[in-house]
A and B are shown apart, each in its own frame.
Chain A
Amino acid sequence: MTKFKKIINAIGLPRLIICLFFGGILLLAAVNDLNMTSYIGSILKYWGMWGILVLAMVPSINCGIGPNFGVSLGIVCGLLGSLLAIELDIAGKINASVPGLGPWVSILFAIAFSVVVAWFVGVAYGKLLNCVKGSEMTVTTYVGYSIIYLMCILWFRAPFSSGEIKWPLGGIGVRNQVSMESSFGSLLNNAGGFYIGGEEGIYVPTGILVFFFLCCFAMYIFNQSKTGKAISAVGVNPQFARASGINVDKMRIYGISISTVLGAVGIIIYTQGFGFLQAYAAPLAMGFQCVAAVLIGGATTGRAKISHVILGTFLFQGLLIMTPPVSNHLLAGTDISDTMRQIIQNGVILYALAQAKGGNE
């Protein structure tokens, strides 16, 4: 009995339940003869697409701020960078001289631009969070919501002139969905992508996964650095950090800025994988999905590891992709898929937050 308990403790009860649930869903899908290869391909793709957004939770959790529900701040920076890349038609211009290079320059420009903007936004955001110590989770949630709606106004009146971005009927402002085809849509997904088991098999989006793992590795290296260690000490025990001469507020600002930057990079990667840039309220709940994923992966509100990100994103996206078709198949005609998705996503957040043990324990 105690041995059994030990194993459960090592894996973590919530993770165990989710794993079993996911396994069950996969089994049901296979038994019901659903198109498994296509679903598994989707899971791989969404794993890479969401991975960096989820990775953005690590620095904010480790610096003591907790899950960054306000990752939308970084997301809008990323959207801005992508839109600018389209507006300037970087891909088209480069392609005219060196065919094939355009999308790469375009995505690099978008990343570089939004990283710089996101860093400054992150610093300001960090200063705000330093004023509200103790209620960060509430404040990040509010910030995440309000920035999306503030940006709705901006998107609507933004003076873009590219035909790809403007409303089709003319005027100014960003349309609901901007196609990424002319810039860097599916660039990483297709880079080095291959099928396992022929044309009908599982498609492995090599580029996006490689980029995701590279980011994870970079984050891991950063965590091993002097600053990384300082940030993590601030998160675990601010008093201890102070006694070692560390400026607690500054480290928190670093943590949240890195989180915001990762949010910006994350949405660019997401957008290229999705093929469309979604402005307005589309990213509203993205923060919640990221938090849910990292918590499923085994993180607490006080401690997160890279492994939590990798495992959590896979499980969470896997669940979101597999549950709707399976439930639709089992409850034919009810079209319950989106409801199921909502219930799972929010249920997981609620469950994980309820399980989260006050950080320092």
Chain B
Amino acid sequence: METQYVLKMDNISKTYFGNKVLKGVHLSVKPGEIHALMGENGAGKSTLMNILFGMPVIHNTGGFEGTIEVDGQPVTIDNPQKAMELGIGMVHQEFMLIPGFTAAENIKLGREITNPSIASAVFGKSMETLDKPRMAADAKKALDTIGLNIPEDTMVRGLPVGYMQFIEIAREIDKTGVRLLIFDEPTAVLTESEADRLLDTMRSLAASGIAIIFITHRIDEVINVTNSLTVLRDGTFVDRVETKDTTAARIAEMMIGRKVEKLVDDTDDTRTLSDDDIMLSLRDFTVDMPGESVRGIDLDLRRGEILGIGGLAGQGKIGIPNGIMGLYHAEGKAVFEGEEIALDKLGDALQRGIAFVSEDRRGVGLLLDESIEENVVFTAMQVNKAFTKNLGFCRLYDKKAAKTHAEEMIKTLDIRCTGPEQYAGRLSGGNQQKVCLARALTTQPKLLMVSEPTRGIDIGAKKLVLEMLVKLNRETGLTIIMVSSELNELRSLCDRIAIVSDGKISRILAPQDSDADFGLAMSGSQAGKNTEKGE
């Protein structure tokens, strides 16, 4: 007898502007089951959920291929209302609550219970009065179901984040006929005890017959709470397994995978790296960067190496270079070439010979409405007083020297443009990235920090940028810190890779270490505990 699924998505493919983001993915969930949907950033989880909800973004870009069945019946979901009618609900990662409304009002928003009144007799249904007692009763019931003990007339504003999450859930289960709930990384913003409670709530919801799709990065939670899981990687379906048949290490391996493509060709390596020759050392280093906070790391950088910093989004890897440059408030000790960097003094790191290529290329990295030339020489002009003529009383911009240098950079970095006068905003992503690199190199740094150097640029340009970094390192002995979400890139050119999780360094790995090690390090400190349990 065939298993009855509440949801069955078969052979789903989706193309965005010629870029295939989903390639024949399957997803099936049984009633009353907690099913984990796992994958790295960009694996295609969000796209799959957007398809399930009939989001406009899917249909505006040419729809998708494949079939969806709900309770064994083929369905077409072409708008979010349709999904709602089919009993599919979603608990969003960002709360969609109105702060000035009470919990009950938020739960019943858009589905208010109303009584006819005189005004409604004249002006129609929109003028009916709210039946507050019945709404409160419904809200109370929903809140009780998930075990949240707050009065239903509490104002949402001022509630702890965890409570807001529960109100979101209460709103979803208050909808009649809900049979499938999707939790989009619900524990990312919760404290540990709140997360535990949420997992309990999920279990009791599942026990009442509601199927749950649980999207998360945290392998330990998956092991703890789910019945089965589906892993996606780079838009392809890896496997669907029962949780009891697998281990944390195996899941991590499935998520990361080993890609055969080699991004950078081997080059002659004549470097000698020594643990005694430390260029930069961080001690108890914390950075207060919103969404990427660093919570106390110790890290040593050897002269002449390429150090990779990896980890999932929001874990703090991007905070490290931003903190060193003084762009966000940082504390702790950062010793560069034997001297401590004044972290509260903007520009101190630059003065000492550290250059930074920001992950936010268009926001921080470039003056889009200025020429390539101005972009390339700007930092060097401000920091080293390069490209200026001294007139005695003031320093003037030396246009000729700047132009010569910009032309040189365009040639060495192979920036495709009409000339140094072209506006940086008009260049393609890869060429913009090269302009950013050129600007950093123009300051003649001893240490180069590049953050997400390949984000948003096409594969060919990616290879060029990475090769450039290796060449700089091998030929000029430039020490490089490279921060990237793309583990594959880090593994193809770094000497060591520090994996950041939850604002701390969870492990420092060699590029040839196993996928499972990387996966576990990325999934956080608790993974170790659960590995033992799983095995």
Return chain A residues, CB-CB under 8 Å to B356.
243
A247 contacts chain B at the CB level, 8 A cutoff: yes
State whether A245 touches B385 (Cβ < 8 A).
no
- Contact partner of B358 (CB less than 8 A), chosen from A227, A236, A243, A245, is A243
Q: A233-B378, A245-B350, A246-B347 are in contact. Are A226 and B360 (CB under 8 A)?
A: no
Interface size range of chain B in the complex = 20 to 34
State whether B395 touches A225 (Cβ < 8 A).
yes
- Total A-B pairs in contact (CB under 8 Å)? 74
Give the shortest distance, in Å, between B385 (CB) and chain A (any CB).
Answer: 7
State whether B381 touches A226 (Cβ < 8 A).
yes
Interface size range of chain A in the complex = 20 to 34
Return chain A residues, CB-CB under 8 Å to B358.
243
The prevalent SS among residues of B at the interface is mixed
Return chain B residues, CB-CB under 8 Å to A221.
394, 396
A230 contacts chain B at the CB level, 8 A cutoff: yes
State whether B395 touches A226 (Cβ < 8 A).
yes
Please measure, in the bound complex, the distance between the C-alpha atom of A303 and the C-alpha atom of B396, giving whole angstroms: 21
Please measure, in the bound complex, the distance between the C-alpha atom of A240 and the C-alpha atom of B358, giving whole angstroms: 9
B11 contacts chain A at the CB level, 8 A cutoff: no
B408 contacts chain A at the CB level, 8 A cutoff: no
Return chain A residues, CB-CB under 8 Å to B369.
236, 303, 360
Please measure, in the bound complex, the distance between the C-alpha atom of A19 and the C-alpha atom of B347, giving whole angstroms: 46
Return chain A residues, CB-CB under 8 Å to B326.
245
The prevalent SS among residues of A at the interface is helix
- Contact partner of A242 (CB less than 8 A), chosen from B346, B351, B367, is B346
Please measure, in the bound complex, the distance between the C-alpha atom of A195 and the C-alpha atom of B488, giving whole angstroms: 78
- Contact partner of B370 (CB less than 8 A), chosen from A225, A230, A236, A242, is A236
Give the shortest distance, in Å, between B420 (CB) and chain A (any CB).
Answer: 16
Interface string of B357-380 (1 = CB under 8 A from A): 010100111111110001000110
State whether A243 touches B397 (Cβ < 8 A).
no
**CB-CB nearest in chain A for B398:** A224
State whether B385 touches A247 (Cβ < 8 A).
no
State whether A229 touches B397 (Cβ < 8 A).
yes
A237 contacts chain B at the CB level, 8 A cutoff: yes
Q: Which of A210-231 contact B (CB under 8 A)?
A: 221-222, 224-227, 229-230
- Contact partner of B367 (CB less than 8 A), chosen from A226, A240, A247, is A240
A239 contacts chain B at the CB level, 8 A cutoff: yes
Give the shortest distance, in Å, between A232 (CB) and chain B (any CB).
Answer: 9
State whether B365 touches A245 (Cβ < 8 A).
no
B382 contacts chain A at the CB level, 8 A cutoff: yes
Please measure, in the bound complex, the distance between the C-alpha atom of A222 and the C-alpha atom of B391, giving whole angstroms: 12
Please measure, in the bound complex, the distance between the C-alpha atom of A110 and the C-alpha atom of B379, giving whole angstroms: 39
Please measure, in the bound complex, the distance between the C-alpha atom of A162 and the C-alpha atom of B383, giving whole angstroms: 52
Return chain B residues, CB-CB under 8 Å to A97.
none
Return chain B residues, CB-CB under 8 Å to A244.
347, 350, 378-379, 382-383
Please measure, in the bound complex, the distance between the C-alpha atom of A244 and the C-alpha atom of B327, giving whole angstroms: 10
Please measure, in the bound complex, the distance between the C-alpha atom of A252 and the C-alpha atom of B188, giving whole angstroms: 39
Return chain A residues, CB-CB under 8 Å to B383.
244-245
B306 contacts chain A at the CB level, 8 A cutoff: no
State whether A247 touches B346 (Cβ < 8 A).
yes
Residue with the greatest number of chain A CB neighbours at <10 A, chosen from B351, B364, B365, B366 = B364
Give the shortest distance, in Å, between A303 (CB) and chain B (any CB).
Answer: 8
State whether B350 touches A225 (Cβ < 8 A).
no
Please measure, in the bound complex, the distance between the C-alpha atom of A227 and the C-alpha atom of B356, giving whole angstroms: 22
State whether A237 touches B367 (Cβ < 8 A).
yes
Q: Which of B302-355 contact A (CB under 8 A)?
A: 325-327, 346-348, 350-351
Return chain A residues, CB-CB under 8 Å to B365.
240, 243
Please measure, in the bound complex, the distance between the C-alpha atom of A221 and the C-alpha atom of B368, giving whole angstroms: 23
State whether B364 touches A225 (Cβ < 8 A).
no
Please measure, in the bound complex, the distance between the C-alpha atom of A226 and the C-alpha atom of B367, giving whole angstroms: 16
Return chain B residues, CB-CB under 8 Å to A246.
346-347, 382
Return chain A residues, CB-CB under 8 Å to B47.
none
Give the shortest distance, in Å, between B354 (CB) and chain A (any CB).
Answer: 10
Please measure, in the bound complex, the distance between the C-alpha atom of A243 and the C-alpha atom of B383, giving whole angstroms: 11
Please measure, in the bound complex, the distance between the C-alpha atom of A239 and the C-alpha atom of B365, giving whole angstroms: 8
Return chain A residues, CB-CB under 8 Å to B360.
239
> What would 24 A/B residue contacts be, using CB atoms closer than 8 Å?
A225-B395, A226-B381, A226-B394, A226-B395, A226-B397, A230-B382, A233-B378, A237-B367, A237-B368, A239-B360, A240-B365, A242-B364, A243-B356, A243-B379, A244-B350, A244-B378, A244-B382, A244-B383, A245-B346, A245-B348, A245-B350, A246-B382, A247-B346, A360-B369
Q: 19 new A-B pairs (CB below 8 Å) besides A226-B381, A242-B346, A245-B346?
A: A222-B394, A224-B397, A225-B388, A229-B374, A230-B382, A237-B363, A239-B360, A240-B364, A242-B364, A243-B327, A243-B364, A243-B379, A244-B347, A244-B350, A245-B326, A246-B346, A247-B346, A247-B347, A360-B369
Could you list which residues of chain A lie within 8 angstroms of chain B, going by C-beta atoms? 221-222, 224-227, 229-230, 233, 236-237, 239-240, 242-247, 303, 360
- A-B complex: 7 closest residue pairs judged by Cβ atoms: A245-B347, A244-B379, A245-B350, A239-B364, A224-B397, A226-B395, A225-B394
